[in-house]
A and B are shown apart, each in its own frame.
Chain A
């Protein structure tokens, strides 16, 4: 076997091995998207009930709560960016980080400073590489977040929000969250949202009048314990959607990698075939040439 042919065969083998890996990752992600979507769906009854309850309290009592009151002179804003722990998901993490950068620029234009809170190793590495300040980071669960993770993150953020931004270095007046919205299997979009101070959105609340509730023990107390749960549920929902988006992005990236490997194998096969054919042709012409030379040599000696 000629040297050229051997090189082509070696490259084909390595591309085939890579293809096996990307194919496996594609299949794994495909099965995990479904699971992640189911988790998003499974968390919605809780989120809906909570929204309903918060709407009820907010519309029946005039109690002001620190989490719903905007600061009169905001100085600092926290930005929570949710990305992946691992790569191989196309532009998924980068899209979220870029969206976060845009948000940070927009906030700075309003004269506020920003504090970065990061979820996922990709964002942490991005910030660390550029020596940017990280106020808080959580890694290791981006593809399968649990409520406990959301709670931990929310508690840190709420604590920063509650503490005064003038007297404390970590206090913030606003909280924004950047996550990747899972629209469909083929479309996921990074989205920035303001979480705190809260605006209670009634998108999921049923139309019509809410009943006159009795509050146990009193509206203020109910709101006190409802609002942190509400923030947690929103953060949890953002994390679940991001996880589903991550799997979908990874599936898509791995699918195109597999397709590219297929293309590459096809063209390498053609090249290898041509090289083999050329080798055979050369061998034949060498034999024919040799036979000719022998024939003419023996004809001349007679």
Chain B
């Protein structure tokens, strides 16, 4: 099992960001969640707000997501947002 998450941030118009990450934190309807490698498959509705990605190279990326979802399976994370920036 790889030790990193493969992350994609996509909006309807384009793929916003993709790469390897160590951790992701986002806020779903039920509260903040953090996703680490090996996380159980998850499908969650995101509330409007920030998604933070700890990129594998040590930097961090932040996206403002509006009307989005997060889906996690087999260390693959997709963050879908109606608008992302």
Contacts and interface: CB of A to CB of B under 8 A. Distances in A.
Contact of A215 (B11, B13, B43, B67): B43
Contacts of B14: 42-43
Contact of A216 (B11, B44, B80): B44
Interface string A42-65: 110111011011001100000000
Interface residues of B, number: 25
Most buried by A among B8, B28, B40, B69: B69
Contacts of B62: none
Interface in B4-30: 8, 10-15, 28-30
A43 B42 contact: no
Nearest to A53: B71
Contacts of A147: 11-13, 82
B73 A213 contact: yes
Given A50-B80, A53-B71, A147-B82, A45 B10 contact: yes
B74 interface: yes
A52 B69 CA distance: 12
Contact of A213 (B8, B13, B30, B41): B41
A216 B45 contact: yes
Contacts of A50: 69, 80
Interface residues of A, number: 32
A159 B21 CA distance: 39
B52 interface: no
Contact of B12 (A57, A211, A225, A236): A236
Nearest to B45: A225
27 contacts: A43-B14, A45-B8, A45-B10, A46-B11, A46-B80, A49-B71, A49-B78, A50-B80, A56-B43, A56-B71, A147-B11, A147-B13, A151-B82, A210-B73, A211-B73, A211-B74, A213-B71, A214-B40, A214-B43, A216-B42, A216-B43, A217-B28, A222-B69, A226-B69, A229-B67, A229-B82, A233-B12
Interface of A: 39, 42-43, 45-47, 49-50, 52-53, 56-57, 146-147, 150-151, 210-217, 221-222, 225-226, 229, 232-233, 236
Interface of B: 8, 10-15, 28-30, 33, 40-45, 67, 69, 71, 73-74, 78, 80, 82
Given A43-B12, A147-B82, A213-B42, 15 more contacts: A42-B13, A43-B13, A45-B8, A47-B12, A53-B69, A147-B12, A151-B82, A212-B41, A216-B28, A217-B28, A217-B30, A222-B45, A225-B69, A229-B80, A232-B12
